[in-house]
Amino acid sequence: MVPNRSHSFSGAASEGDESLQCSNFSDMASVCTERIVKGVAGGSALLPCTLSHHSLSHQVHVEWRLQEVNKGLLIFNSSNNYTEGNFQDRLRLVGDPTKGEASISITNLNCSDINVYLCHIKELKMNQQGNSEYNYADQLGTLLVVDDVPVEANLTTASNSTSSFMVSMISIGSISLGAVIACVVQRALRARALKRSSLAMVARETPITYDTVRVERITSTSEDRNNFYTHSNMIYSTVSH
């Protein structure tokens, strides 16, 4: 029987700046992210994620998922350089995971990017008993909000004088009215779905302990190594304001 050892999620807390949130673990490690990140259509956004730990090995991998820590859609995995199709050529890892840096940058933002993003940092350590994997997952999630870009349009009046004003919701010459309407509808539906989730508030207000890390010995056979995965009882939550 493979021996198991686990660190537990010991709670969430704001660290100084109220926009910063941290998931704290029993081994004094913390995963810190932003509650909300805002961007504009066509622009870029940085989703911060940092792991505070006394020491890290040289084998650290980063995953990012949507909405759920374990079961949510995997959009990035640094271990095999995987990026989900909708984020191809738009998402990149920022920083050095071996230093606890697991932030990602998303470019060319659009309304379909509005979602809750969660980072998961996996550390592989070698010891006399074998290889052990430590998992540190963001329990709260970062809500990415994408706003439309106000576009300044010049209109010529009958007297050939030019009036300048701000036109929001429509990007002249690049986004059709139908696309804008579809974007607004999609944003409304996604916002409604996010509001239905109240797990973020439960995670902040209820002092319940959840196991988030399980350490397992990996045998030397390639078959076992391919079949190895970690079961973690984790809570996911979304934050919507």
We report the CATH number of the domain holding residue 101 as 2.60.40.10
Report how far residue 131's alpha carbon sits from residue 134's, in angstroms, rounded to the nearest whole number.
10
Residue 193 lies in a domain: no
Q: What is the pLDDT of residue 128?
A: 73
Is a pLDDT exceeding 60 seen at residue 2? no
Q: Identify whether residues 13 and 92 lie together within a single domain.
A: yes
Q: Identify whether residues 29 and 140 lie together within a single domain.
A: yes
Q: Identify whether residues 66 and 173 lie together within a single domain.
A: no
Is a pLDDT exceeding 70 seen at residue 175? no
Residue 240 lies in a domain: no
Q: Identify whether residues 45 and 95 lie together within a single domain.
A: yes
Cβ atoms of 56 and 29 within 8 Å: the answer is no
Q: What is the pLDDT of residue 105?
A: 98
Cβ atoms of 142 and 115 within 8 Å: the answer is no
Is residue 26 very low, low, confident or very high in pLDDT (cuts 50, 70, 90)? confident
Is a pLDDT exceeding 90 seen at residue 153? no
Q: Identify whether residues 95 and 175 lie together within a single domain.
A: no
- Higher per-residue confidence, 19 vs 127: 19
Q: Identify whether residues 53 and 170 lie together within a single domain.
A: no
Q: What is the pLDDT of residue 131?
A: 82
Q: Identify whether residues 114 and 171 lie together within a single domain.
A: no
Report how far residue 230's alpha carbon sits from residue 157's, in angstroms, rounded to the nearest whole number.
66
Please state whether beta strands 17-25 and 8-15 pair in parallel, antiparallel, or not at all (unpaired): antiparallel
Residue 121, strand partner residues: 62, 136
Report how far residue 149's alpha carbon sits from residue 145's, in angstroms, rounded to the nearest whole number.
13
- Burial class from Cβ neighbours inside 10 Å (0-12, 13-18, 19+) for residue 106 reads buried
Domain count, the chain: 2
Report how far residue 171's alpha carbon sits from residue 167's, in angstroms, rounded to the nearest whole number.
8
pLDDT, average across residues 205-229: 42
Backbone φ and ψ for 113, nearest 5 degrees, come out as -80, -10
Report how far residue 39's alpha carbon sits from residue 146's, in angstroms, rounded to the nearest whole number.
5
Q: What is the pLDDT of residue 183?
A: 65
Q: In terms of DSSP H, where are the helices of 83-219?
A: 177-195, 199-205
Residue 203 lies in a domain: yes
Residue 175 lies in a domain: yes
Q: What is the pLDDT of residue 126?
A: 80
Q: Identify whether residues 132 and 176 lie together within a single domain.
A: no
Q: What is the pLDDT of residue 228?
A: 36
Residue 235 lies in a domain: no
The position carrying tokens 């060319």 is 108
Q: What is the pLDDT of residue 84?
A: 97
Q: Identify whether residues 15 and 30 lie together within a single domain.
A: yes
**What global pTM score does this model have?**
0.63
Q: Identify whether residues 87 and 181 lie together within a single domain.
A: no
For residue 156, give its domain range: 151-185
Residue 206 lies in a domain: yes
Residue 111 lies in a domain: yes
